[in-house]
Amino acid sequence: MERSHFIKMRDGARLSTDLYFPVDYEGKLPVILERTPYDKANRRIADPEAPITMNNQAYYYASHGFVFAVQDRRGKFESEGDYTIGYGDVNDAYDTLEWFEKQDWFNGNVGMIGCSIPGGNVIKAGMSQHKSLKGLVPQSAGFGHGTAGGTMARGFLRGGVQNMWMPLWTHGFGSKLFYRPSKRLNREEYLKVADRFDFRPNVNDLVEYMDLTTGAFTKKGLETIMHLPLVEIDDLMGSPPSDWDNLISKPPMDPWWLAGDYLEDEDAVSGGALHVNSWHDYSVHETMLQFEHFSKKGKTEWDRENQYAIIGPLGHCRLENLTSNTINVDRELGDARFDAWGTYLKWWDYTLKGNKDAFEGTPKIQYFLPGANEWRSSDEWPIAGTVPTKLYLSSNGSANTRLGDGSLNWEKAKSDEIDEYEYDPSNPVGNFEEAVNQGSSDMSELELRKDILVYSTSPLEEDIEMTGKIRAKIWVSTNVPDTDLALKLVDVYPDGRAYAIKETYLRLRYRDGYDKTVMMEPGKIYPIELGTMTSANLFKKGHQIRIEITSSNFPTFARNLNTGGNNATETEFQKANVKILHGKRHPSHIELPIIKR
């Protein structure tokens, strides 16, 4: 391992990069690169003899004949420059690959891998279109997505709303301030003094706010993220300088967001890609949009033809965690094992070493189907046999809670009806132990809240297979200028367990587009289109298909204070009366991608 090579970027900033070489290598070698804001030293101190994980993958790949390079992102840890989340990654990736081109041990082929923000950096490297970039493995890479494919996903923004795990992330991992030696030192001089410096900001108090193992908030953590105004949360926590104020206060099309590097419709890309995610990751919808985008916008025919996707059943960065007894929070999925590391190795042999047989016969899409609890494959997306099928909302006006009279029907209702609830920002709906975007929790207890409308089919007479993009259209009226709409799809077991499958969310001021803010007129009826859902599930015979509708989903989404003002800076709020209309004139529905075989 060669530590801390300083690679100069076009603006003069030097990014620190560790290189892991095969022992006693001969000839020229391909590179697998990871660009991370999470401290490249974590790879260095990992146990190379332990079972393969992301932490010790550098040793794993070096042992198989690759140079593994891991780089501290601009402004983080040993790397120079200013850190702004989402900025500068396309150019920095390009300049880093240019440096590899000058090394006498380099064979001309680079691959990139990474999960979460490092996964987003893989997408951004593809946007650089560097000639040496041949293979990509973007894992849970929605962070690198913008509006490509007609969605809105900058960083962790969804539905125009920020995720309230983010102030804890910026507190623990988003610091702009690091202590490092003088920029005047060259590499040799730096290595003599490097171990005298502790680069990490002191944020050991993160454990006071959340359980770092489960992700659950502590009492102090919940009190902190409920604090108003939201822009003060970092000060309340004593956080180091970060991007929190911009992340929470800037609307989706603000120049601050537009200045970042995010995948847009017009972006050409390069590199074959193995797109990796899981159905309960917050960004699996974007992963499949990235699969489609690279298939259409790849720079060469080879790029376009070499796009693959693997979607597992769990949550964020967890494809490699599948076991013979996989449990998705509460839901048992049986033997979901998948040889992720072996698959990645075959991919690198194919894309970086030119072994054309290594990936021969691999399906374009491999995905786990919960409910059936088995892996499936397809060479088409959408899956062959997909029939978009609508389920219509109905009730007698009392769909509140799972004990109400809400129903989902395959035919439109012949009469009109209204369900309503009160959304109180001081008491938001939420699953504080495990957000649905991290797994499949049992929602049956939460469904006893009166501010959740529940609509269910009758017990199914046959299995119904669903894989693909999910949409909904809901007619809404409210008495406030702005509120939110949250929808969740649920699989209800015969014994009453109700496992979350997927969710979506929209701040209604953005119902006409994220480039404008349009308030609602009290009492006026609006058709609201909801998307950004991609998932898979086998609803088995005897089960029920259910949706939940409400106006909050905290802490996955920041609360709307219902005033029509700036939710990041205000401290006052009001309750909202929300009406959901359905029936002949207002055919509210969810549209599922049902597979007919």
Domain shared by 152 and 203, yes or no: no
Per the structure, the complete domain to which residue 177 belongs is given by: 161-250
Domain shared by 91 and 168, yes or no: no
Domain at 335, CATH number? 3.40.50.1820
Encoded tokens for 170: 């910026």
Q: What is the DSSP string of 461-520?
A: SS-EEEEEEEEEEEEEEESSS--EEEEEEEEE-TTS-EEEEEEEEEEGGGTT-TT---PP
What Å distances lie between residue 474 and 262, 324, 426, 549, 580, CA to CA? 30, 40, 25, 10, 7
Residue where a domain stops, chosen among 357, 378, 399: 378
Segment 314-337 mean pLDDT = 95
Q: Which residues pair with 301 in a beta bridge?
A: none
The residues, ordered by sequence, that sit 6+ positions from 147 with a Cβ below 8 Å of its Cβ are: 153, 262, 264, 265, 514
Least confident segment among 34-38, 195-199, 401-405, 439-443: 195-199
Encoded tokens for 493: 């077991």
Domain shared by 370 and 493, yes or no: no
Query: CA nearest 242: which of 315, 351, 155, 301?
Result: 155
DSSP one-letter code for 27: S
Domain shared by 440 and 541, yes or no: yes
Query: CA nearest 371: which of 533, 523, 489?
Result: 489
Q: What is the DSSP string of 554-594?
A: TTTSPPP-SSSS-TTT------EEEEEEESSSS--EEEEEE
The pLDDT confidence band at residue 130, using thresholds 50, 70 and 90, is very high
Confidence at residue 433, expressed as pLDDT on a 0 to 100 scale:
58
pLDDT digit string (tens) for 485-503? 999 999 999 999 999 999 9
Residue where a domain stops, chosen among 344, 378, 412: 378
Are 42 and 55 within 8 A, CB to CB?
A: yes
Confidence at residue 432, expressed as pLDDT on a 0 to 100 scale:
65
CA triplet 149, 127, 174: central angle to 5 degrees? Answer: 90
Q: For residue 523, give the H/E element and its range.
A: none
Q: Is 479 exposed, middle or buried (0-12, 13-18, 19+ CB in 10 A)?
A: middle
The residues, ordered by sequence, that sit 6+ positions from 208 with a Cβ below 8 Å of its Cβ are: 218, 220, 221
Domain shared by 131 and 256, yes or no: yes
Query: CA nearest 486: which of 565, 544, 430, 419?
Result: 430
Segment 334-341 mean pLDDT = 98
Alpha carbons 468 and 186: distance in angstroms, whole number = 52
pLDDT digit string (tens) for 247-260? 999 999 999 999 99
Domain shared by 188 and 304, yes or no: no
Domain shared by 215 and 348, yes or no: no
Q: Which residues pair with 447 in a beta bridge?
A: none
Strand 589-595 and strand 133-139: the pairing is: unpaired
Confidence at residue 452, expressed as pLDDT on a 0 to 100 scale:
98
Q: What is the DSSP string of 161-175?
A: B--TTHHHHHHHH--
Confidence at residue 437, expressed as pLDDT on a 0 to 100 scale:
61
pLDDT digit string (tens) for 282-302? 999 999 999 999 999 999 999
Confidence at residue 194, expressed as pLDDT on a 0 to 100 scale:
87
Are 335 and 325 within 8 A, CB to CB?
A: yes
Residue where a domain stops, chosen among 351, 378, 405: 378
Domain shared by 27 and 37, yes or no: yes
DSSP one-letter code for 207: G
- Torsion angle of C-alpha atoms 287, 377, 459, 330, degrees rounded to 10: -60
Question: Residue 329: pLDDT above 70?
Answer: yes
The residues, ordered by sequence, that sit 6+ positions from 395 with a Cβ below 8 Å of its Cβ are: 404, 405, 406, 407, 417, 419, 455, 582
Segment 120-131 mean pLDDT = 98
pLDDT digit string (tens) for 378-432? 999 999 999 999 999 999 999 999 999 999 999 999 999 999 999 999 999 987 6
Q: Which segments within 307-452 are labelled E, that is strand?
A: 307-312, 326-328, 331-334, 365-369, 374-378, 386-394, 407-409, 417-423
Question: 527-536 b/e with 16+ CB inside 10 Å = b?
Answer: ebebbbbbbb
pTM above 0.85, yes or no: yes
| Longest CA span, the chain | 79
pLDDT digit string (tens) for 167-215? 999 999 999 988 777 888 999 999 998 888 777 777 888 999 988 877 7
The structural domain count of the chain equals 3
Domain at 458, CATH number? 2.60.120.260
Q: Is 437 exposed, middle or buried (0-12, 13-18, 19+ CB in 10 A)?
A: buried
CA triplet 215, 217, 220: central angle to 5 degrees? Answer: 150
Mean pLDDT of the chain: 95
pLDDT digit string (tens) for 231-244? 999 999 999 999 99
The residues, ordered by sequence, that sit 6+ positions from 173 with a Cβ below 8 Å of its Cβ are: 37, 38
Alpha carbons 255 and 252: distance in angstroms, whole number = 9
The percent of residues above 70 in pLDDT, for the chain, comes to: 99
Domain shared by 245 and 272, yes or no: no
Q: How far apart are the first and last CA of the chain?
A: 52
Domain shared by 127 and 218, yes or no: no
Domain shared by 264 and 239, yes or no: no
Task: Say how far residue 289 (Cα) sits from the centre of its chain.
Answer: 12
Domain shared by 109 and 142, yes or no: yes
Question: Residue 349: pLDDT above 60?
Answer: yes
Question: Residue 434: pLDDT above 70?
Answer: no
What Å distances lie between residue 569 and 125, 433, 565, CA to CA? 35, 27, 9
Question: Residue 436: pLDDT above 60?
Answer: no
